[in-house]
Amino acid sequence: MKNIWFFGDSFTRGDGCIPENESEYYDNYPKLRDKLWTDIISEKYSMIQNNLGERGCSSDWIINTIVDNLYKIKKGDVVIFSDTRPSRYLIPRVQDNEIHCFSPGQESIWDWHIKNRKDTSKPKEWEDMKKTLIDYTWYFQENYSKLWEEYYLERFKNLKKYFDSIGVTNYFWSYKLWYEKQLKIELISDITHIHNEHFSWKGHREFSSYLLEQLNITKSNTLI
């Protein structure tokens, strides 16, 4: 069997509809449980699923993950990939000295990093780092979101060209489909009291129908 590859953020990963800590929708609505959109498409094409979506990740992270797996992707495979909000970016993770993604509105996560840091000798320095991070996010990310978006789209276009050149069917879809609600897709928050803006299980079925329709238009598609 050939492989089908999915690269993206939490909307590719299936957040809210998979068993994990703090998955209130999954835990409290067992009768609604169904397949993720990646499951539906994989089964439709009878291909082995490789879902490498990552919660809260940046476009840099997605691109790096694709590059890390290029040697595994062969002619006859299918690749479905997306970008994400351009204001997300990579930073060193304080508590374990690893590279991690940071997203606007995650100041509480930075506080957690500070609380769990190994070096407790420089509290003011750590608070200064937090302020620097927040200032950078506002002045150089949020204020230039259009420029960053164009930059990342060019990177994804080049990846698409590469997949086309080696005979890999591929499809790129934009994060704007969920972030700007360009598609009418049911979200968890639409049908429950839970504050979760990810797809419900019905939303996964709706999104899979949309993607399957797009994939059937031509052999290699893109929304870019």
Q: What is the DSSP letter of 21?
A: T
Q: 190 is written with which tokens?
A: 């639409």
Measuring CA to CA, which residue among 35, 47, 56 is closest to residue 6? 47
Contact of 13 with 51, CB cutoff 8 Å: yes
What average pLDDT does range 210-220 have in this prediction?
76
Statement: residue 109 has pLDDT above 70:
no
DSSP 108-147: HHHHHHHHT-S--S-HHHHHHHHHHHHHHIIIIIGGGHHH
Amino acid at 129: M
pLDDT score, position 223? 41
Higher pLDDT residue, 217 or 164? 164
What average pLDDT does range 41-52 have in this prediction?
97
Statement: residue 221 has pLDDT above 50:
no
Burial of 129 (0-12, 13-18, 19+ CB in 10 A): middle
pLDDT score, position 5? 98
Q: 27 is written with which tokens?
A: 């835990």
Measure the CA–CA gap between 197 and 79, rounded to whole angstroms. 25
Percent of residues, the chain, with pLDDT higher than 90:
67
pLDDT score, position 91? 86
Average confidence score pLDDT of the chain: 88
List of domains in the chain: 3-87+146-222 (3.40.50.1110), 89-143 (no CATH)
